[in-house]
Amino acid sequence: MNSADLGRRVGVPSTALFTDQYELTMVQAALKAGTADRRSVFEAFTRRLPEGRRYGVVAGIGRVLDAVENFHFDDEMLTFLRDQNIVDGPTLAWLADYRFSGDIWGYPEGEVYFPGSPILRVEGSFAECVLLETVILSILNHDSAVAAAASRMSAAAGGRRLIEMGARRTHELSAVASSRAAYIGGFDTTSDLAAGFRYNIPTVGTSAHAFTLLHDNERDAFRAQVDSLGRKTTLLVDTYDVAEAVRTAVDVAGTGLGAVRIDSGDLLLLAHRVRQQLDELGATATKIVVTSDLDEYAIASLAAAPVDAYGVGTQLVTGSGQPTCSMVYKLVARANSADPAEPLRPVAKKSLGGKSSMGGRKWAARRLDENGVAEAEVVGTGPVPDGLADRQLLVELVRGGEVVAREPLDAARERHIAARRGLPMSAVQLSKGEPVIPTEFV
């Protein structure tokens, strides 16, 4: 594998303060109590899918690995913690030497998940594991929400190309993460150059309405763009009159024009009219790209339209109405000491209101029916049944503090396509419903 396949390892500042204060105060109290080094198992999971969703998509694992590697406290951070009286001297000394030295197992990126799936399992001392809670959840909740929205849009697009173009609709760093998650979920390209630079995602882009308005008339704008970018460019045709713009576009670029983009109006009607007009002008190979605040429902409504590609922004980077997956990170097992021979004992929160959890270090496997289609997500704490031994979902990600499972982004993208294909057909229905397969706890 070429190292370029993994993208550019852009320098990342320490992630140690991407956390909540109580993670550090818990460490301080545990150090004082002598319990900080107890061997512990934490798991990230969700109790339920967002309302109406039929499956979730795991995204952000690669970014979690980066975050764990970069989780360390430099002198400036330690000075801040001391000056703000957040933790005491012994805790500052412990934090100064912090490097995660435990093990992490998890669902591989691009895999699907369901309520109760142990998406990530973090093992080590209590103190070193609890510090990672906030940054892990921050990444997984955001990226998996975007990837799930992207997957729904990809299914609705039915093989037509998808362009991620939401950078201007979210925080600048979230935009890069969103591009990455969208690519895993089935998008083909991004408009965000930072995402292209960092993750080798194909980038696209031509012009906005401002470029047309800059020129004295539409013909001059089209001519300038074609002279600069070539006849295979995409011309934006809805600044003034769409029909007139299409005529001008073909006149300027010829019948070899790459594509036209429609960004407003009745997209269904306009797509049919523009397709007819292009064909009548001889531009039969010219593609039609539509944008304009699309989501999976709008994409599905255009299934019968002669559209070749969709550009999606706001709804994608905000999870199409579900901006988080509500994942939690819970202590599920712990020993009475740091001794590896000390047995782990299951622990779990007991509470009212649906916030209880299941104790024990878990495995997960997906049971298939006689046709090879998923029929249940099986989660257990004891021995893995023989029939599920080769269907286990968790893979080793970090061993002894060292990352062992980096992979190209395309591998996660291809895994998601295969995982979604292995679900019952109703998984891609846009109507609200329950998880497409049940979670069985054994």
Asked whether residue 356 carries a pLDDT value surpassing 90, the answer given is no
The closest alpha carbon to 81, from 175, 6, 10, 16, belongs to 16
Each residue's pLDDT tens digit, 269-296: 999 999 999 999 999 999 999 999 999 9
288-303 residues labelled b (16+ CB within 10 A) or e (exposed): bbbbbebbbebbeebe
For tokens 């952000």, the residue is 60
> What pLDDT, on a 0 to 100 scale, did the predictor assign at position 8?
63
> What pLDDT, on a 0 to 100 scale, did the predictor assign at position 349?
84
Each residue's pLDDT tens digit, 291-339: 999 999 999 999 999 999 999 999 999 999 999 999 999 999 999 999 9
Sign of the dihedral defined by the CA atoms of residues 242, 248, 249, 254, in that order = positive
Asked whether residue 1 carries a pLDDT value surpassing 70, the answer given is no
Which residues pair with residue 120 across a beta bridge? 44, 106
Mean model confidence pLDDT for the chain: 95
The DSSP annotation for 22-43 comes to HHHHHHHHHHHHT-TTSEEEEE
The single-letter DSSP state of residue 108 is: P
Question: CA-CA distance, 393 to 105, in Å (whole number)?
Answer: 10
User: What are the φ/ψ torsions at residue 274 (nearest 5 degrees)?
Assistant: -65, -40
> What pLDDT, on a 0 to 100 scale, did the predictor assign at position 231?
98
How do strand 189-190 and strand 161-164 relate by DSSP bridges?
parallel
Spatial contact of 329 and 43, defined as CB atoms under 8 Å apart:
yes
Question: CA-CA distance, 296 to 158, in Å (whole number)?
Answer: 11
Each residue's pLDDT tens digit, 202-228: 999 999 999 999 999 999 999 999 999
Residues in the chain: 442
Each residue's pLDDT tens digit, 52-100: 899 999 999 999 999 999 999 999 999 999 999 999 999 999 999 999 9
> What pLDDT, on a 0 to 100 scale, did the predictor assign at position 258?
98
Asked whether residue 10 carries a pLDDT value surpassing 60, the answer given is no
Q: Give the percent of the chain with pLDDT over 70.
A: 97
Q: How confident is the model at residue 188 (pLDDT cuts 50, 70, 90)?
A: very high
> What pLDDT, on a 0 to 100 scale, did the predictor assign at position 2?
44
> What pLDDT, on a 0 to 100 scale, did the predictor assign at position 6?
65
Question: CA-CA distance, 234 to 193, in Å (whole number)?
Answer: 18
> What pLDDT, on a 0 to 100 scale, did the predictor assign at position 3?
44
CA dihedral 241, 242, 246, 247 (to 10 degrees): -40
Other CB atoms within 10 Å distance of the CB of residue 356: 12
The closest alpha carbon to 436, from 55, 51, 153, 46, belongs to 55
Asked whether residue 4 carries a pLDDT value surpassing 70, the answer given is no
The closest alpha carbon to 421, from 118, 112, 58, belongs to 112
Contacts of 401 (CB under 8 A, 6+ apart): 99, 100, 101, 102
> What pLDDT, on a 0 to 100 scale, did the predictor assign at position 11?
59
Spatial contact of 292 and 262, defined as CB atoms under 8 Å apart:
yes
The closest alpha carbon to 420, from 78, 208, 171, 113, belongs to 113
Q: HSE-up of 30 (CA within 13 Å, CB side)?
A: 22
Other CB atoms within 10 Å distance of the CB of residue 410: 14
Helix (H) / strand (E) element for 72: namely none
Which domains does the chain carry? 3-131+326-441 (3.20.140.10), 146-321 (3.20.20.70)
CA distances to 15, 129, 294, 319 from 314, rounded to whole Å, are: 27, 35, 8, 9
> What pLDDT, on a 0 to 100 scale, did the predictor assign at position 13?
76
For tokens 């074609």, the residue is 226
The DSSP annotation for 120-149 comes to EEEEEEHHHHHTTHHHHHHHHHHHHHHHHH
Each residue's pLDDT tens digit, 117-135: 999 999 999 999 999 999 9
Asked whether residue 243 carries a pLDDT value surpassing 60, the answer given is yes
Q: Give the percent of the chain with pLDDT over 90.
A: 94
The single-letter DSSP state of residue 411 is: H
Asked whether residue 355 carries a pLDDT value surpassing 80, the answer given is no
CA dihedral 47, 51, 54, 59 (to 10 degrees): -60
> What pLDDT, on a 0 to 100 scale, did the predictor assign at position 350?
83
Asked whether residue 359 carries a pLDDT value surpassing 70, the answer given is yes
Angle, CA 88 vertex, CA 85 and CA 92 arms, to 5°: 105
